[in-house]
A and B are shown apart, each in its own frame.
Chain A
Amino acid sequence: MSTSSIDSIGTTRKVPTNRSKARLGKDKFNLPLTIVLAVCTLAVLVPLFVTVSMAFKTGAQAVEGKAFSLPSPLSIEGFIEAWRMTNFPVTFMTSVFVSAIAVAGAVLISSMAAYAIHANWERKFFKFAFFYVLAAMFLPFPVLALSQIKLSGFVGLDTPLGVGILHIMFMLGFNVLLLTTFLRGMPHELEEAARIDGATTWQTFWKVIFPVLSPMAATVGIFAFLFSWNDFMMPSMIISDPAMQTLPVVNQLFQSQFSSNYHISFASYLMAMAPAIIVFIFTQRWVLSGVTQGAVKS
C-alpha cells in the first residue's frame, strides 16, 4: 500500500483489465459499451454545461430560463453583478481561510497523532485514544450541532476559525485511521536507522516519518480541502456574523431574492464550484486512489 497502490486505480491503460484482455485480445475495444458509457457521461456534463452557459448569458437572455440555449452574445455581466452581490473577494478569502486551516490542521495534526499512536500501540492509553477518536465517526453532525453552536459562541469561536477547527476535528477519526494503516506498512528499519543516528523523536518525525507518509498525507489534504470548501452545514450554523460567511452559504441568497436573475446566480455558482473542480483536475490520481484506500484497505 505504498506508492504503487496510488497507481492502482484510475490511471492508465497499463492498469489491469486482465480478464477482458484475455478474452478479447489486445486491441479489441468494446465499442457499443463505450458508446453507452459516453452517453452516460452526459448525466454529469449537462448540469455543468447548463451552469457555464447560463452564467455567460445577458440578463435579457437568462430571463427566458432556457437551459440549453448557448449564450449569445457572450456576457460577463452576471459575474460582475455576482462578484458585487456576494462580496466575492471577502467571501472567497473566508472560504480559502477556512479550507487552509482545515487542510493544514488535518495533515499536521492527524499525521502527528497517527505517528504517536502507531509508535506506542502497545500502550493502553494510545490504543484507547485511537478507538476514542475513531468512535466519533459514528456521531452524526446533527447530533452535535446545537451544543456546538452554544459552545463555540461561548468561547468566541463562532467564526471562520472555529469552523476550520471543527472541520479538522470531524475528519480526525477517519484521517488517523488512514494514516496509522499506512504507517503499519512502513518498514520500521527506517525509524530505527534515524534513532541510531541520534535523531530525536521530533527530528525522526520530520525527517523520516512525514516524508514517508506524504502520499497518504496528500490524500488526506485533498479530501480535507474538498470537504471544507464544499461544506454548507457547519459554516451556516457556527459562523454568527453574516459578513464572514463562506461561499456555499452566501450563495443561498440567490434562492430567495433575485430569483429570475439566473445569469447572476449561475455565475456565482460557477465561481463557487470552480476551485474544487480545478483542484480535482490537478489532483485526480490522489482523489481516485484516496477513496479506495480509505474505504477498502484495513
Chain B
Amino acid sequence: MSLTSPEAPAATPPAGLRPTPKRRPDKTHLFFLLPTLIAFTLCIALPAVMGIFFSFTNSVGYGEWDFVGLANYELMFTDPAIMASFWFTIWFSAVTVIATNLIAFLLAVGLTAQIRARVPMRAIFVIPMVVSPIIIAFVFQFLFAKTLPTAAQAVGFGPLEDSILANPNLAWLSIVIVTAWQAVPGAMLIYIAGLLAIPGDLYEASALDGAGPWKQMKMITIPLMASYIVINVILTFKGFLNAYDIIIGLTDGGPGTSTRSVAMTIFSGFETGDYAYQMATATIFFLITLAIAVVQLRLMRRKDQ
C-alpha cells in the first residue's frame, strides 16, 4: 500500500505562475508544515532515539546511568521470559494472520456475489472494526470464562468444561479468535475493493471457454488478487505484532506468562525499573518490524513491475 513511493509530483504548472525553485518557499507553507514537523519530532522521533540510546545504558528510567555497551542485549537473548514473549507474539501473529485473511477473503467473495441484503450485511460485518478492542475483549472474556464452560457442561463435552482462559495450552486460542474477530473487517474491505476491480469480462470469457466457478477462482480471482493478499497479510501481521489491548482484556498474559506479548513485556519495564533493559527489547522488536516492512516493500515493488 502506502509504502510505494509517490513518484508523480504535482503536475508542473505553466511557467510564470510557479515560483522559481531558487526562491524561498512560501511563508504560509512553512507555517503549515514546520510546527507540525517540530511537534512530530518531539513526540515520535525523539522518544525513538532516546529509547535506542538508553538501551546501551543501565538507566532505570530516572537518575544516574552509565554506558554498559551491549550488556542488555546479551542478557536479553539469554532471558527465557523475553524470548518466550517473542516466540509467543510471532507464533500467535502468524496463526491469526492466516485465520483473518482466510475468513476475510471468503467473506469478501460472498459479499461481492449476487446475494440478497448485501448492503446491510456488509455494514454488519464491519462493526467489529469500530468497537474498542479492550472492551470487546472483556465481553469475550465473559463468554469464554462463563458461557462456553456452561454450554460444554450442558452437553457433556469434557475438553471445554473448564474455561479455556485458565488453560495454558488453550488460552492462546481465545486471543486468536478475538483478534481475528476484530481484524477481519479491515482486511475484508480491502479484498472487496480488489474483487470489484476485476473486470467482469474475464469471467464471461472464461465461462464461454467452459470454466466453472472453481477454475475461475483458481485461474482468475486468486492470481489477480495476489497483490491485495500481500497487502493484507503484511498489514495484519504488523498489527498483530503490537498485540496488547485484546490480550490484557482476555488473559492479562496468563495463565502464568503463557500469553505474554512483546508489548506487555516492554511495558513492564517501567514498573520493574528495567527501563534500559526493556529498551533493548524494544530496539530488537523495532528491527523485526522494520525487517517485515522491508520485505513488504520488496514484494510490492515486484508486483508493480
Contacts and interface: CB of A to CB of B under 8 A. Distances in A.
Interface stretch (A71-79, A84-92, A212-220, A230-238): A230-238
Interface in B43-98: 43-48, 50-51, 54, 61-62
A174 B283 CA distance: 22
Interface string A138-151: 11111111111111
A34 B116 CA distance: 6
Contacts of B8: 184
B85 to A, nearest CB: 11
Contacts of A28: 114
Given A19-B203, A252-B134, A38 B125 contact: no
B193 A37 contact: no
A19 B135 contact: no
A60 interface: no
A131 B47 CA distance: 18
Contact of B270 (A149, A226, A277, A295): A149
Contacts of B245: 232-233, 248
Which of the four size classes fits the interface of chain A? 35 or more
A16 B17 CA distance: 42
B278 interface: yes
A117 B32 CA distance: 9
Interface in B106-140: 107, 110-119, 121-136, 138-140
B244 A233 contact: yes
A251 interface: yes
Contacts of B262: 142
Contact of B29 (A120, A146, A147): A120
A146 B279 contact: yes
Which residue, B62, B115, B263, has most C-beta atoms of chain A within 10 A? B115
Given A37-B110, A201-B28, A138 B6 contact: no
A58 interface: no
A98 B242 CA distance: 22
A8 B259 CA distance: 40
A202 B135 CA distance: 43
A283 to B, nearest CB: 10
Contact of B242 (A121, A130, A142): A142
Given A137-B2, A138-B290, A276-B132, A201 B26 contact: yes
B40 A294 contact: no
A165 B43 contact: yes
The A interface, classified by DSSP as helix, strand, loop or mixed, is helix
A34 B111 CA distance: 9
A232 B1 contact: no
Given A9-B189, A151-B46, A248-B135, A123 B121 contact: no
Contact of A269 (B42, B125, B135): B135
B235 interface: yes
A13 B118 contact: yes
A32 to B, nearest CB: 10
Interface in A145-164: 145-151
Which residue, B117, B122, B139, has most C-beta atoms of chain A within 10 A? B139
Contact of B11 (A47, A142, A188): A188
Contacts of B286: 139-140, 143
A167 to B, nearest CB: 10
Which residue, A43, A44, A123, A279, has most C-beta atoms of chain B within 10 A? A44
A192 to B, nearest CB: 6
Which of the four size classes fits the interface of chain B? 35 or more
A254 B126 CA distance: 27
B282 A143 contact: yes
A67 B132 contact: no
Contact of B131 (A119, A132, A273): A273
A44 B242 contact: no
A142 to B, nearest CB: 4
Nearest to B134: A232
B130 A280 contact: yes
B199 to A, nearest CB: 8
A248 B128 CA distance: 15
A246 to B, nearest CB: 10
Contact of B113 (A11, A17, A117, A200): A17
Given A29-B115, A116-B33, A150-B61, A47 B136 contact: yes
Contact of A19 (B204, B267, B293): B204
Contact of B189 (A144, A149, A181, A288): A288
Q: Which 7 A-B pairs have the closest CB atoms?
A: A18-B200, A147-B47, A201-B28, A230-B132, A292-B193, A112-B32, A19-B203
Given A188-B10, A248-B135, 6 more contacts: A140-B238, A143-B286, A200-B28, A233-B244, A269-B139, A288-B126
Interface of A: 8-13, 15-24, 28-31, 33-34, 36-38, 40-41, 43-45, 47-48, 50-51, 54, 65-68, 109, 112-113, 115-123, 125-126, 129-134, 136-151, 165-166, 169-170, 172, 174, 177, 180-181, 183-184, 188, 192, 195-196, 200-202, 205, 226, 229-233, 237, 247-248, 251-252, 254-255, 262, 265-266, 269, 272-273, 276-277, 279-281, 284, 287-288, 291-292, 294-296, 298
7 contacts: A142-B242, A142-B262, A143-B266, A143-B282, A149-B270, A169-B43, A281-B123
